[in-house]
Structure 1
Amino acid sequence: MPPPPPSDGTVRSAAELNRQIRALWPHPAVRLSDEQRARYEVLVAEWAAAVRAEMVEAA
Protein backbone atom coordinates (compact mmCIF):
# COMPACT_ATOMS: atom_id res chain seq x y z
CA MET A 1 0.00 0.00 0.00
CA PRO A 2 1.34 3.47 -0.83
CA PRO A 3 2.46 5.66 2.02
CA PRO A 4 0.03 8.39 3.03
CA PRO A 5 0.83 12.06 2.56
CA PRO A 6 2.93 13.61 5.33
CA SER A 7 0.91 13.86 8.54
CA ASP A 8 3.18 16.34 10.29
CA GLY A 9 1.44 19.30 8.65
CA THR A 10 4.06 19.79 5.96
CA VAL A 11 2.83 20.19 2.43
CA ARG A 12 4.94 19.19 -0.52
CA SER A 13 5.06 21.61 -3.43
CA ALA A 14 3.45 20.84 -6.76
CA ALA A 15 6.92 20.87 -8.31
CA GLU A 16 8.23 18.26 -5.85
CA LEU A 17 5.19 16.06 -6.39
CA ASN A 18 5.56 16.42 -10.16
CA ARG A 19 9.18 15.30 -9.85
CA GLN A 20 8.09 12.23 -7.90
CA ILE A 21 5.38 11.41 -10.45
CA ARG A 22 7.87 11.67 -13.30
CA ALA A 23 10.37 9.48 -11.45
CA LEU A 24 7.68 6.87 -10.83
CA TRP A 25 6.52 6.79 -14.44
CA PRO A 26 9.46 7.73 -16.69
CA HIS A 27 7.77 6.86 -20.00
CA PRO A 28 4.10 6.48 -21.05
CA ALA A 29 4.83 3.16 -22.73
CA VAL A 30 5.91 1.67 -19.39
CA ARG A 31 3.12 -0.15 -17.60
CA LEU A 32 2.88 0.42 -13.88
CA SER A 33 2.35 -2.40 -11.42
CA ASP A 34 -0.77 -2.28 -9.27
CA GLU A 35 1.29 -0.90 -6.38
CA GLN A 36 2.90 1.74 -8.60
CA ARG A 37 -0.51 2.69 -10.01
CA ALA A 38 -1.88 3.17 -6.49
CA ARG A 39 1.13 5.34 -5.59
CA TYR A 40 0.67 7.32 -8.84
CA GLU A 41 -2.97 8.01 -8.00
CA VAL A 42 -2.05 9.24 -4.50
CA LEU A 43 0.67 11.49 -5.92
CA VAL A 44 -1.61 12.95 -8.60
CA ALA A 45 -4.34 13.71 -6.05
CA GLU A 46 -1.77 15.35 -3.74
CA TRP A 47 -0.30 17.26 -6.71
CA ALA A 48 -3.73 18.59 -7.71
CA ALA A 49 -4.36 19.77 -4.14
CA ALA A 50 -0.92 21.45 -4.06
CA VAL A 51 -1.63 23.24 -7.36
CA ARG A 52 -4.96 24.53 -6.02
CA ALA A 53 -3.30 25.67 -2.77
CA GLU A 54 -0.54 27.45 -4.68
CA MET A 55 -3.12 29.21 -6.88
CA VAL A 56 -5.06 30.41 -3.83
CA GLU A 57 -1.84 31.56 -2.17
CA ALA A 58 -0.85 33.50 -5.28
CA ALA A 59 -4.24 35.24 -5.48
Structure 2
Amino acid sequence: MSPNPGPRAAVRPAAAVNEDIRALWRDPRVGLTDEQRAVYERLLTEWAAAVRADVVTAA
Protein backbone atom coordinates (compact mmCIF):
# COMPACT_ATOMS: atom_id res chain seq x y z
CA MET A 1 0.00 0.00 0.00
CA SER A 2 1.32 3.41 -0.93
CA PRO A 3 2.06 5.86 1.92
CA ASN A 4 0.31 8.55 -0.12
CA PRO A 5 -3.35 7.64 -0.56
CA GLY A 6 -3.75 9.95 -3.54
CA PRO A 7 -6.32 12.65 -4.17
CA ARG A 8 -9.46 12.59 -2.10
CA ALA A 9 -12.91 12.77 -3.58
CA ALA A 10 -14.71 16.05 -3.05
CA VAL A 11 -16.98 15.91 -0.01
CA ARG A 12 -20.27 17.77 -0.08
CA PRO A 13 -21.11 19.80 3.03
CA ALA A 14 -23.02 17.88 5.71
CA ALA A 15 -25.89 20.37 5.44
CA ALA A 16 -26.35 19.58 1.73
CA VAL A 17 -26.38 15.85 2.37
CA ASN A 18 -28.82 16.38 5.25
CA GLU A 19 -31.18 18.20 2.87
CA ASP A 20 -31.12 15.18 0.56
CA ILE A 21 -31.87 12.87 3.49
CA ARG A 22 -34.80 15.02 4.58
CA ALA A 23 -36.15 15.17 1.02
CA LEU A 24 -35.90 11.40 0.71
CA TRP A 25 -37.64 10.65 3.98
CA ARG A 26 -40.17 13.46 4.48
CA ASP A 27 -42.42 11.49 6.85
CA PRO A 28 -40.63 9.13 9.27
CA ARG A 29 -43.94 7.36 9.91
CA VAL A 30 -43.80 6.03 6.35
CA GLY A 31 -41.27 3.29 5.67
CA LEU A 32 -38.79 3.41 2.83
CA THR A 33 -38.73 1.02 -0.10
CA ASP A 34 -35.66 -1.19 -0.50
CA GLU A 35 -34.34 1.17 -3.18
CA GLN A 36 -34.93 4.24 -0.98
CA ARG A 37 -33.27 2.50 1.98
CA ALA A 38 -30.17 1.87 -0.16
CA VAL A 39 -30.07 5.57 -1.10
CA TYR A 40 -30.62 6.51 2.56
CA GLU A 41 -27.72 4.31 3.69
CA ARG A 42 -25.45 5.82 1.02
CA LEU A 43 -26.47 9.31 2.13
CA LEU A 44 -25.77 8.48 5.78
CA THR A 45 -22.29 7.30 4.83
CA GLU A 46 -21.74 10.47 2.83
CA TRP A 47 -23.04 12.60 5.71
CA ALA A 48 -20.67 10.91 8.18
CA ALA A 49 -17.73 11.58 5.83
CA ALA A 50 -18.76 15.23 5.55
CA VAL A 51 -18.93 15.56 9.34
CA ARG A 52 -15.47 13.97 9.68
CA ALA A 53 -14.11 16.35 7.04
CA ASP A 54 -15.54 19.30 8.97
CA VAL A 55 -13.84 18.09 12.16
CA VAL A 56 -10.49 17.62 10.40
CA THR A 57 -10.78 21.07 8.80
CA ALA A 58 -11.58 22.65 12.17
CA ALA A 59 -8.60 20.96 13.84
- Tell me, yes or no, whether TM beats 0.5: yes
How many aligned residue pairs are there? 51
Q: Distance in 1 between matches of 2:11 and 2:41?
A: 17
Q: Deviations over 1:3-53 (max 9, x none)?
A: xxxxxx332110000000000001210110000000000000010010011
Length-normalised TM-score, structure 2: 0.81
Percent of pairs identical after alignment?
A: 63
Length-normalised TM-score, structure 1: 0.81
**Larger-gyration structure (1/2):** 2
Q: Where does residue 41 of structure 2 map in the other structure?
A: 41
Taking only aligned residues, the RMSD between alpha carbons, in angstroms, comes to: 0.8
Any unmatched runs of 5+ in structure 1? 1-8
Within-5 A mapping of 1:1-59: 9-59=9-59
Any unmatched runs of 5+ in structure 2? 1-8
